[in-house]
Structure 1
Amino acid sequence: MLTDAEKDSLREYYRAIADNLPGFRPRAAQRQMLATVANAFGSTLSKAEDSDDAPERNGESIAVIEGPTGVGKSLAYLLAGGVMAKSRGKKLVVTSATIALQEQLVNRDLPFAIEKSGLPATFALAKGRGRYLCPYRLYQLTADNAQGELIAQDPALALWERKPEQGEIEALRQLADAFYYRKWNGDRDSWPEMINDELWRRVTNDRHGCLKAGCPNRPECPFYLARETLETVDIVVANHDLMLADVAMGGGVILPAPENSFYCIDEAHHLAKKAVNQFAAEHSLAQAMAWLDKITPLATRVESLIDKPELASNACEAAAACMESLTEWLWLLQTEPSLEASSDNLEPSWLVEDGVLPESMKIPAANMALSARMLYKNLTGMSDGLGQLRKDKQQETLLIDKTSSDVGFMVGKCEQLMALWDLFEKEPEENAPPIAKWVTRRADGKGDYLFSASPVSAAGSLAATLWRRAAGAVLTSATLRSLGSFDLLLSQTGLKWLEQVQTVALDSPFNFSEQGELYVPPLLSTPKDPAGHTREIIDWLPKLVDLNEAVGTLVLFTSRKQMQEVAEGLAANLRERVQMQGELPKAVLLQNHRDALQAGRASVLFGLDSFSEGLDLPGEACVHVIIAKLPFAMPDDPVGRTLSRWIEKRGGNPFVELTVPEASIKLIQAVGRLIRTEQDYGRVTILDTRIVRQNYGKRLLAALPPFRRI
């Protein structure tokens, strides 16, 4: 419940924005969102005074808010969240799915909110460890940290699977010099040129390879310097992936602990799929065999340093057991018919039906999982032993640190191996969603296979690791409802199990019936006849696009093949006005589009799914959105196929339960490209008559903004 002081603060800061910003008009929906966020965070539960146990949370401090374009969502949640976080002694953690929104929050929205409101808040951008240089690794590979001179061309065996090329050595020298002379801060994103991924992996680090407080380069470590900054600020901006990774590790590892955080999760419609990806795992058979083969010489080095020979011996035995099991799997997979390569499919996949391994593979999977766990246990034991040795022994610290770093590298590799096989051997409980498991034959490398596994739903994991622990959370986006309901989002994120979660759909500030119109031309073909449908789109586009007006048109496709075929079939006078996704970088396409309009010429953008979301073309930059096809995403990936089959076996209909609801969200997002401000106008044209002829189409249509039908 909000205190009187909190209510007064919210009014004062919001009023200050109005006073400091000429032309500012308070919006009812924005005030409603601000109040909803504050009330949710004001309902947070605290520990009982006589107990150390965490309070039992049931969603009382969680709100799901759909805020259409124009509401001013970020200002509402930043202001309300900032006030409540400072008042309740929490950190405000703001996450987004895209880099674009992160940059907007850090570079525009937060400075604006703080300056205009007077809210005394500080903020910083949080990134994962993998975005930062590890100075110790870089100096290991190239230079002495005191003199900055190149010393070795034979880097650590564990870090390089092959001898580096001269160009790579030169690139490492440039990084080392720039960092040593403080011309670069060690943030990958601030390096002026693109750094090759393979090269970057050699000079970054993970939590296992990090020497932590024992590192000789700890005072200059970019990751730890950034993390120290996070501890001093009021508001932390991150992305969904980093937040999910942090809670998966127990919380409070990189970001503030969930119990001490109010989360504002923007672009929340991406959260469920991001979470599924976070809990997935994969590894290459050939690459695993390569690093497992290096365990014995590494264990021998460790044994010479620490007085625990059983750890080295057990690690060698476990690595040998892993290699033996993988060899058995190589033999088993050679007899699987669906993995036979052909000229039509060089990388075939085998999807394990319903996620249940054949009887002949259950014991090999269990053996592999057990061996991986034993290897992980002994590698971490070796790592702990080296850490203790460093504390006790002052001499040979360079050798100890070098070995510790190499062991940490192997621990990280083994963790991936263990994660995959823990999923691969697991069979879910009755009525629980299955785990998708599949193997892909790799075209590169003789006899190599990629093992993959993923839960089909992250609802249970999110409920346990985030929602029942967080002090409070707000999930928001312009589009959260599907077919007019929050049910899909609540189900996919696990919020449906928390009875007190509040859902709010804010009104749009736009007058859709006055600003826009909707047209469904009478096409004879549907997308079920791809060739006929494409021909009709080619015929209709010249009728729909007026090349005599300097206005913008956005044509959205679900298939790159159809987009290219339509472009090829257009008359020259229309084709020359088309800017097509994939021909140039997105930023260049959009700039060409704006330049053409400014020069008094009509311009047409052809785009795919990524143009249906986040593209902001206000005014006459987009007065016509043409949707070629209803955005049905058929479940042809392993996770989607496994989930669909599970739904069918339970008597459900995956098309009705998944495909149509998800298409509803995508269609609303696509239509949302048209009206971006209260002055915008235009038309949405849908070249798919199923939206008016099929029952599911009518449900999709009913969920769209109330445009005037023509």
Structure 2
Amino acid sequence: MLTDFEKDAIRDHYRTLADNLPGFRPRAAQRRMLAEVAQAFSRMKTPELAAAEGREGESIAVIEGPTGVGKSLAYLLAGGVMAQSRNMKLVVSSATIALQEQLVNRDLPFMVENSGLPLTFALAKGRGRYLCPYRLYQLTADVAQGDLLGADPSLALWDRKPQPGEVEALRELADAFHQRGWNGDRDTWKENIDDGVWSRVTNDRHGCLKAGCPNRPECPFFLARETLETVDVVVANHDLMLADISMGGGVILPAPENSFYCIDEAHHLAKKAINQFAAEHSLAQAMSWLDKVAATAQRVDTLTGKSSIVVDACDAAAAAMETLSEWLWLLQGEEALAASSDTLEPVWLLDDGLLPERLATPAANMALAARMVFKHLSALSDAVGEARKEKGSEALLFDKVAGDLGLLIGRSEQLMAVWDLFEKVAEEKAPPIAKWVQRKTEGKGDYLFCASPVSAAASLAATLWHRAAGAVLTSATLRSLGAFDLLLSQTGLVWLPHVNCVALDSPFDFQSQGELYLPPLLASPKDPAAHTREIVDWLPRLIDASEAVGTLVLFSSRKQMQDVAAGLPAELRECLNVQGESPKSALLDNHHARLRDGKASVIFGLDSFSEGLDLPGESCVHVIIAKLPFAMPDDPVGRTLSRWIEKRGGNPFVEITVPEASIKLVQAVGRLIRTERDYGRVTILDNRLTRQSYGKKLLASLPPFKRI
């Protein structure tokens, strides 16, 4: 239950915020969100009680907060008070870098300064964003050049002769870091660092020497980790949060049991989670690094004298290579992977994620071999770590081998993840695992093995919802066709009976601020050529090229966008800013410059411009949507899910395609009204809204604009 102290603290800090901001108008929706966040977190169970009773979603809230509500301020203030009161960390996660930066650079400082709530905060990043000082100093030391002539240059820090510019760039980084002119965070360097150069001086968890590293006290990653342990609020992104829980939680971010999560842009969470739990590997690349295991193992033997585990590692790598060779032979006769004129890289998708009987044993053998490789490489790494403690004078040799082993362990973990999924058979009523093989044309005889769950619901339930002390999922658009059902099923929250779902009211008066127009088009989008011609005919009637206001035209197809742009009359083409023809920042700068000069400006954009694009006032008074944003399930994961739904007697179009299109359509329409002073029109050039049965449902989910 929410205590009186917590109620008073939230109320007092909110009042202080209002007093410090002239013209501040408390909004009912924002006050309700403050209360919903606090109430959710107040229902947290202690770890002991959760272990005894389990968690059933009592401390989880799903809150749809339309644009203008002030969501971030509400969850930061209420979440911050509750985290401090309950001795928890507040972990705020977003899908985009833009929102992360907004939270750290604007929203949190603003809230702390004006509310009087003394929160400390830090931005959490993955290990790959930080410098490894040890690797950098090795690369820039004179001895590093001699390393190029070693017995195994392919596993040296440089796998080729470095270019002069690369060495100079690394020495500049080393000098700046040594003199404390740079903190080792890639994003804070004065200019862009080439990916090839950066990959040499960053590190992963397997290649890291951890406590044994001589540069551990100055390591940017570990210093950042230590900072996260001291602050009240940790700002992360969905990818990092999901990576942390997939490793057991508490590895990079605070442990779920000690955290309140505020998951913003939560409509992206399910797809992000599917990507996180997927895995793939190239056959040729796997054969290449497996071939290097023996040489690396012999170096371990020389340093440690652990011959038995060296033999085990070599045998495991040889067995894995033998089994992969068998797969190479098995796949050569597969018809779906044969060359064809219309498919550059043919894909063989396994129906329902089930292996043919002839491949079941090879898959089990490969999964076992991958696990053995990972196990024995890890044993080699442990042996090197133990021996290094005893032979400190040879630390450099041990560290080089440890780094090489780290690379191999990381690759073996990836190999193991793929084949664990390939071998796995989903339970009877559970969604299948999508499995497919893609023939690569770049390398002769190379194949890409891929596997992915089609739903992340079970994984999220097990790794996050049943462990987190509390969570709030929020976004401007969480409902689909007016209900939360799609989000709940895709995230696994549907299995938690006490999750609280709330749809806040918008602060905007849509009836007076906007209108919706559905022109009487004849052509269906199912006839792309005719539909494109009709859009070309309609746009000059819908857009006044002489009026200095902004228009946003959204397309689902790049080809249609380009064809429409090419077919417009010259006076309208002069107003165009087409996505892809210039960087987004330059496109928006040109758009605003034209408006300042008293000229009309029109933005042509694709799906990514339907979300996160903020064009208040007259920078956007007309949003034109070319066609309904249906995403056809033509990728292996989507096709596997659709087939599973059909076999259960369902309709993938009705259950997945239309609900997902509803969310995207609401997001696209949401580009029009961004403030209480905005006005304008939404035009949708898709006659399926009035001709198809699902059209009424899609229209009902839109804001209540005046219909014209």
TM-score (ref. length: structure 1)? 0.97
Q: Is the 8 A contact 2:300 2:310 kept in 1?
A: yes
> What SS does the corresponding residue of 1:274 show, helix, strand or coil?
helix
Q: Is the 8 A contact 2:138 2:144 kept in 1?
A: no
Partner of 1:210: 208
Compared with structure 1, are the counterparts of its residues 173 and 343 closer, same or farther at alpha carbon in structure 2 (3 Å cutoff)?
farther
Q: Summarize the alignment of residues 384-533 of structure 1 with structure 2, pairs less than 5 Å apart.
A: 384-533=382-531
Aligned residue pairs total: 705
Compared with structure 1, are the counterparts of its residues 149 and 454 closer, same or farther at alpha carbon in structure 2 (3 Å cutoff)?
closer
Amino acid across the alignment from 2:214: P
Amino acid across the alignment from 2:613: L
Residues 579-627 of structure 1: per-residue CA shift (max 9 Å, x gap): 0000000011011000000110000000000000000000000000000
Partner of 2:219: 221
Residues 68-96 of structure 1: per-residue CA shift (max 9 Å, x gap): 00000000000000000000000000000
Partner of 2:361: 363
Partner of 1:164: 161
Residues 554-575 of structure 1: per-residue CA shift (max 9 Å, x gap): 0000000000000010111101
Partner of 2:679: 681
Q: Is the 8 A contact 2:148 2:158 kept in 1?
A: no
Q: Is the 8 A contact 2:261 2:471 kept in 1?
A: yes
Deviation of the 1:479 alpha carbon: 0.1
Amino acid across the alignment from 1:157: S
Deviation of the 1:193 alpha carbon: 2.9
Q: Summarize the alignment of residues 633-652 of structure 1 with structure 2, pairs less than 5 Å apart.
A: 633-652=631-650
> What SS does the corresponding residue of 2:431 show, helix, strand or coil?
coil
Q: Is the 8 A contact 2:47 2:257 kept in 1?
A: no
Amino acid across the alignment from 2:155: A
Give, in whole Å, the separation in 2 of the partners of 1:28 and 1:458.
35
Q: Summarize the alignment of residues 330-341 of structure 1 with structure 2, pairs less than 5 Å apart.
A: 330-341=328-339
RMSD value over aligned CA atoms?
1.5
Partner of 1:671: 669
Residues 22-54 of structure 1: per-residue CA shift (max 9 Å, x gap): 000000000000000000001101144xx8947
Q: Summarize the alignment of residues 315-330 of structure 1 with structure 2, pairs less than 5 Å apart.
A: 315-330=313-328
Give, in whole Å, the separation in 2 of the partners of 1:298 and 1:469.
40
Residues 312-364 of structure 1: per-residue CA shift (max 9 Å, x gap): 10110111111111111111111112222344322121111111111121111
Partner of 1:5: 5
> For 1:99, which of 91, 97, 100 is the aligned residue?
97
Compared with structure 1, are the counterparts of its residues 54 and 188 closer, same or farther at alpha carbon in structure 2 (3 Å cutoff)?
farther
Give, in whole Å, the separation in 2 of the partners of 1:86 and 1:25.
27
Unmatched 5+ stretches in structure 1: none
> What SS does the corresponding residue of 1:480 show, helix, strand or coil?
coil
> What SS does the corresponding residue of 2:155 show, helix, strand or coil?
coil
> For 1:233, which of 228, 231, 234 is the aligned residue?
231
Aligned identity (percent) is 74
Give, in whole Å, the separation in 2 of the partners of 1:547 and 1:105.
38
Give, in whole Å, the separation in 1 of the partners of 2:344 and 2:193.
30
Partner of 1:23: 23
Give, in whole Å, the separation in 2 of the partners of 1:306 and 1:503.
58
Partner of 1:261: 259
Which deviates more from structure 2 when the two are superposed, residues 321-330 or residues 134-143? Answer: 134-143
Residues 74-131 of structure 1: per-residue CA shift (max 9 Å, x gap): 0000000000000000000000000000010001000000000000110000000011
Give, in whole Å, the separation in 1 of the partners of 2:405 and 2:700.
58
Compared with structure 1, are the counterparts of its residues 54 and 141 closer, same or farther at alpha carbon in structure 2 (3 Å cutoff)?
farther
Partner of 1:83: 81
Deviation of the 1:158 alpha carbon: 2.1
Amino acid across the alignment from 1:695: S
Partner of 2:45: 45
Q: Is the 8 A contact 1:143 1:176 kept in 2?
A: no
Deviation of the 1:213 alpha carbon: 0.6
Residues 420-454 of structure 1: per-residue CA shift (max 9 Å, x gap): 01111111111111111111122222221111110
1:617 aligns with 2:615: yes
Give, in whole Å, the separation in 2 of the partners of 1:320 and 1:268.
45
Amino acid across the alignment from 2:11: R
1:593 aligns with 2:591: yes
Deviation of the 1:696 alpha carbon: 0.6
Give, in whole Å, the separation in 2 of the partners of 1:365 and 1:168.
42
Q: Is the 8 A contact 2:514 2:682 kept in 1?
A: yes
Unmatched 5+ stretches in structure 2: none
1:574 aligns with 2:593: no
Deviation of the 1:153 alpha carbon: 4.6
Give, in whole Å, the separation in 2 of the partners of 1:150 and 1:477.
52
